[in-house]
Amino acid sequence: MKHLTTHRGTRFGSSPATQAGFSMLEVMVTLVVLSTGLLGVANLQVEALRGNQGAYLATLAAQQALDMAERIKANPQGVSANQYDAINTGIPTLQVDCQSVSCTPTQLAVFDHNRWNTANQALLPSGSGQVSAIATRTFLIGVRWNDKKLAGATGWQAGSIAATACGAPQANTRCFFLREQT
C-alpha cells in the first residue's frame, strides 16, 4: 500500500511556518506612520517652546512693572511733588547718578525713569513703559513689548484701561499693567 503525503505551502514551495521577516510594503507603511508621529511630536515641542517664551516675556513685564511700583513707594516726596504722574516711554538724560551721590526727590524720579525704561528696552523686545496718575497717589504702571505671535493684531483695545497704562494700541504689541496706590 502506498503512503500518500500531502504538501501544504505556497506556490513557491515554502511552508508558511518557515517564512520569516517582513515584506517591503509592511516596512514602508510602518516608517510612514512612525515618521508622521515623530513630526507631530516635534511640532508639539516647537509650540510648547513658543508658549514658554511668551510666558517668560509676560513674567519679565510683570517684574518690571513691580520694579517701578517699588521705586514709586521708595520716593514718597517725589510722589507728593507729582514727579511720577506722567512718565513716558522715553529715556530721559541723567543729570545725576543717584547710585553714587545723594539726589533730590525730583532727580531720583528722573533717575528711576531712566533706569526703568533702560531695563525695559534691554529685557523685552521693543520694551518700554509708562506711568500715569489716575487719582491722587494712584498710578497705572504699564509695560509693553513686541510679540510677533499676534500676527499684526494688538494686545489691547483703544479706550481701555490698558490704553491708559500702555498708550495707544500698536500692531504686534502686548501690554502688562498694574494699578499701584501709595
Domain positions in the chain are: 24-181
Nearest-CA neighbor of 139 among 99, 88, 84? 84
Q: Which of 58, 122, 65 is nearest to 91 (CA)?
A: 122
Q: Which amino acid is at 129?
A: G
What are the residues whose beta carbons fall under 8 Å from the beta carbon of 55, sequence distance 6 or more? none
pLDDT at 164 (0 to 100)? 87
pLDDT of residue 181: 93
| Predicted confidence (pLDDT) at residue 41 exceeds the cutoff of 70 | yes
Instruction: Tell if the pTM clears 0.85, that is, is over it.
Output: no
Average confidence score pLDDT of the chain: 88
pLDDT above 70: residue 18: no
User: Tens of pLDDT along 78-95?
Assistant: 999 999 999 999 999 998
The model's pLDDT over 94-148, given as tens digits with 9 standing for 90+, comes to: 989 999 999 999 999 999 999 999 999 999 999 999 999 999 999 999 999 998 8
Taking the CB of residue 118, how many other CB atoms lie within 10 A of it? 13
Nearest to 84 by CA among 136, 158, 128: 136
Edge-to-edge strand ranges of the sheet holding 128-135: 86-87, 128-135, 138-146, 173-181
4 or 153: which carries more pLDDT confidence?
Answer: 153
Enter the C-alpha cell of residue 49. Answer: 517652546
